[in-house]
Amino acid sequence: MKWRSFTGRIRMNGLYNNKKITGIKWKKSFWLPFMLFILIAAGGGYMFVKSAAGPVNPGSKKTVEVNIPFGSDLSAIAEMLEDQGIIKNSFVFKLYVKLKSNDGFQAGKYTLSPSMTYDDIIKNLQQGGKPALTILVPEGLQLKEIASIIAEHTKYKEEEIIERLNNEDVIKKLMEKYPRLLTDEILHKDIKFPLEGYLYPATYHFYEQEPSLETIITAMLDKTAEMVEKYRPEMEEKGMTVNELLTFASLIEEEASEKSDRKKISSVFYNRLEIGMPLQTDPTVIYALGEHRERLTFRDYYEVEDPFNTYLNKELPPGPIANSGEMSIEAALHPADSEYLYFLATPEGEVLFSKTLDEHNEKYDEHIKRK
């Protein structure tokens, strides 16, 4: 019995071993041709990728203007390059970019060539192309002036731009998009243009030949929103609203010159508001008049009944009178520590500060009246 059981175990083990050996032989017989197929396919795939990844025409001197719109993803860019004849295969290009961990492609207008390698193309797309349109908006401009600049660079007419920016539906949509920036204060009955002072002064690059007006305005509002958020903690600490901040900053911007100290001008405004004294800043009267004046008269100061006239009203105007840069925004939040109640801009661009009216009048006689 023992012998039989022993031999039985051997036979059983033999059977198992036979099955195991047979299994190994079967797997080898399957995998060898499969691996051979993979190697052959890989070799062909390698040759395909190598061919597709090379320049379309290494000796070409041809150049192609390729415009990459803002927001384009890798797939869209690859297909665009293939359509323009810059690369052979969009799929291989995408694979190459991902394998090389390259990204950060920028919108823009590029001059590319069929002779370029993938690495050359990628390097160009990362550096950024030439914008199709550039709009420069300086500091201290009113909405009408900004509309004029946009009109000069686009197909839109100045009147059309102003009309759109005063359109109730357009403004409400923008308010929904920028709830922390555009509040109900811009709808105040005395506001002349809801977006006055909200179109940030900067250089704007657009990578579409004809960007929509919405695209242009949104870019400017994005910049203003970014700036406001940067200073929101200080603004809220002072208890100022966005509209009050931009209004205050616009007064500083309009009064400041390259040589002037914006924080001292800001301190004059703060000091006057604290004692209930009118701000008496000429740019607000000019804004109320709706036209530029080289010189204002006594009649302009005291007979132009308008909420923006700071000779007749002791508070801030209902809204901004122009756009303002970061220096003026910062000055509105951080005035100098002074006792000044007056300042005077000389013809040379210098700003003189005084604590008393007599001192101010002396400086006026010396620098303005005698001129």
Highest mean pLDDT: which of 10-14, 260-264, 307-311? 307-311
> For 79-121, what is each residue's pLDDT tens digit?
999 999 999 989 889 888 888 777 778 888 888 999 998 888 9
Check pLDDT > 50 for residue 251.
yes
Ranges 44-48, 87-91, 231-235: which has the least confidence? 44-48
- For the chain, the average pLDDT equals 85
Question: What percentage of the chain reaches a pLDDT higher than 70?
Answer: 85
> For 313-337, what is each residue's pLDDT tens digit?
999 999 999 999 999 999 999 999 9
Contact 159, 137 (CB under 8 A): no
Q: Is 58 exposed, middle or buried (0-12, 13-18, 19+ CB in 10 A)?
A: exposed
Task: Tally the C-alpha atoms within 13 A of residue 334's C-alpha that lie toward its C-beta.
Answer: 9
> For 5-28, what is each residue's pLDDT tens digit?
333 333 334 433 444 434 444 444
Q: What is the pLDDT of residue 209?
A: 78
User: Which residue's structure tokens are 């797939």?
Assistant: 75
Kindly state the average pLDDT of the residues 260-272. Answer: 95
Check pLDDT > 60 for residue 36.
no
Kindly state the average pLDDT of the residues 144-152. Answer: 97
Q: What is the pLDDT of residue 329?
A: 97
> For 122-137, what is each residue's pLDDT tens digit?
988 987 777 888 999 9
Q: Assign 52 a pLDDT band (cuts: 50, 70, 90).
A: low
DSSP calls for 141-189: --HHHHHHHHHHHSS--HHHHHHHHT-HHHHHHHHHH-TTTS-GGGG-T
> For 268-308, what is each residue's pLDDT tens digit?
999 999 999 999 999 999 999 988 777 888 888 888 899 99
Integer CA distances (angstroms), 107 to 31, 52, 96, 104, 344, in order: 49, 25, 20, 10, 47
Helix, strand, coil distribution of the chain in percent, nearest 5: 55, 5, 40
Q: Which amino acid is at 285?
A: V
The angle at the Cα of 18, spanning 16 to 20, to the nearest 5 degrees, equals: 70
